[in-house]
Structure 1
Amino acid sequence: MEASATPANWLEINRANWDARVPVHLTGEVYDIPAFVAGEQTLRDHEPGEVGDVRGKSLLHLQCHIGLDTLSWARRGATVTGLDFSRPALDAAASVAAQIGAASARFVRANVYDGADVLAGQSFDIVYTSIGSLQFLPDLEGWARVVAALLAPGGICYVAETHPLLGFLDFDCRSLRGGYFNRQVIVKDEGTYGNPGAELESPVSYQWIHHIAEVVSVLGGAGLRVEFVHEHDWIWFPIFPVLVRQDDGRWRFPDGHPTLPLQYSLRARKDSAT
């Protein structure tokens, strides 16, 4: 269902939705907490190489959820800060951090648009956004301004996201739906990718489709220089039933099926003289 304007209560609705996802994600297979505590990491294979060596660097993870990606960067040597608006998610992240001995990791409660105020006076070498985040934000220009404000001179913004084209595919991945240039809010009433069969206490969320061109434009408008955009033909979980898990653990379209990019990654840098 679509509406023409951003609802006034979008933040409260989305926060309740993500609060409700936390207990489902803590016990589901997508977020395998015991395996993570035992040493596994959750970053997609291309991310460490595209971000570069993070040892000794400060990293801010916006919309960090339960913090597994955040703590994966900590394991690689970064000093990490996770920011999220969900208190249950941050409590879970702090619990996992304690279990793996990530004593320097910290988690801050705030919505993204308040990030520059909550973290006033602080700057980071890396501002990181991971898969499934941007679609829950109505104002991408506001997001980019926060990113730019929190980046240290010479620092990078790194985005790893699902590809916006997925928002126009039906589950058979052969039929298209909706309009590519539609910018209206999408109201969803559904479960969660963490366990599609689980019922959520607050299943409604407000979402928006942000095209790659928009992400590039707002980061450039905020004074950052985009260094690359890469599209990838795989994803880390079976977002569509037709996808097949390959020997490398990645989910791709099967042989003979029409293909589209499933995710993208982007890196932008703040001028060192800024």
Structure 2
Amino acid sequence: MTDDSYLKINRANWDARADVHVGPDGYRLDAFDDPEWISDVVAFDRPRLGDLTGLDAVHLQCHIGTDTVSLARLGARMAGLDLSPRALAHARTFAARAGVDVEFVESDVYGAVEALGPARFDLVYTGIGAICWLPDIDRWARTVAALLRPGGRLFIRDGHPVLNSLAAVVVGNEYAERDQQPDMTAPGGMSPALEFPYYTQPEYRVWCEETSYAGSTPVASPVSVEWNHSIGEILTAVLSAGLTIDTFVEHDSVPWDALPGMMTLGDDGEYRLSDRPERLPASFTLIATRPASDI
């Protein structure tokens, strides 16, 4: 995929999703009326984020800004970047309501350095469910490195590429005779199966989802396109961009119902496989540093 047609498709999709996500059954925006409240996503990340007080930070693919505002409440001076003008309009309204000062900038990720300036940030944060919308993981990593000051950190938690390779399939009755069986939600039961590419492919994968992961209102522009990137491709891209990997952790949970009918919501706001969750790496956290000696 060499052209930018994917941007137009995904921009329309995320414009439409943003309107759904600020609806009454979308994101829990009212919770932020409590000045101490932070999003479940950032609460999950908090033990690994460290002290953010006084850091200049940017949230790439910030959407409507719930995680961006949460990071600001932890002490960072925040900028948020997103390709969707509708999402950013909602983000500015939301941040003002929350009483948090955030610089929101419209740009796709690959234009971030031009939009924000090079070597400007102590922290580049990328939240859950983001890099699948990007065709070139190497270019993403180079962009991150260019945004960071020497000594600055990348923090990303995202859906695991194994999870992104899965689809729910109906299995035969013989499966139910085994000692360990899946959550039975259809005749014969359902089970996750590797159905989609694990490695980055030249062409995008097309989805048409009439509803979003938050909110029940139909999405006006339901088509989106994405790519999967393997763990090896992600790690190699980060290293090739000149960053040093400090932490890499895989988690058995993800903050959305990625496999409907086969996952259970926990008290921490995370979904895990109902049957033997230890089978699935559902998300990962990667922390990397631009060396202080890098000029």
TM-score (norm 2): 0.85
Q: Which residue matches 2:193?
A: 175
Letter of the 2:196 counterpart: G
Q: CA shift at 1:33, angstroms?
A: 0.8
* Matched AA of 1:189: C
Shift in Å, 1:182: 5.7
What residue number does 1:264 align with?
Answer: 284
Instruction: Report the CA distance shift for 1:260/1:148 in structure 2 as closer, same or farther (over 3 A).
Output: same
Pair 1:216-2:235 in alignment: yes
Q: Structure 1: where are the runs of 5+ without partners? A: none
Partner of 1:18: 14
CA contact (8 A) 2:159 2:284 kept: yes
For 1:60, which of 58, 61, 66 is the aligned residue? 58
Identity score, percent? 38
1:78 aligns with 2:79: no
- Partners of 1:182 and 1:85 lie apart in 2 by 22
- Give 2:219's aligned residue: 200
What SS class does the counterpart of residue 236 from structure 1 fall into? coil
Question: Which stretch of structure 1 is more off in the superposition, 200-209 or 76-85?
Answer: 200-209
Structure 1 CA distance for aligned equivalents of residues 228 and 125 of structure 2: 19
Equivalent of 1:188, from 198, 202, 207? 207
Distance 1:33 1:46 in 2: 18
1:251 matches 2:251: no
Give the secondary structure class of the aligned counterpart of 1:35: helix
TM-score of the superposed pair, with normalisation by structure 1? 0.91
What do the CA deviations read for 1:95-139 (whole angstroms, capped 9, x no partner)? 111111113x11011111111111125510000100111000011
The residue correspondences of 1:78-97 to structure 2 (distance < 5 A) are: 78-97=76-95
| Alignment partner of 1:110 is 2:130 | no
Can you list the C-alpha shifts for 1:127-153, whole angstroms capped at 9, x where unaligned? Answer: 010011100001111111111111011
Matches within 5 A, 1:99-138: 99-103=97-101, 105-121=102-118, 123-138=120-135
* Aligned pairs (5 A) from 1:123-162: 123-162=120-159
Residue matched to 2:46: 48
CA RMSD of aligned residues (A): 1.8
> 1:168: how far off?
2.1
**C-alpha contact (below 8 Å) 1:6/1:185 kept by paired residues:** no
Change (3 A) 1:249 1:21: closer
1:6 shift after superposition: 5.0
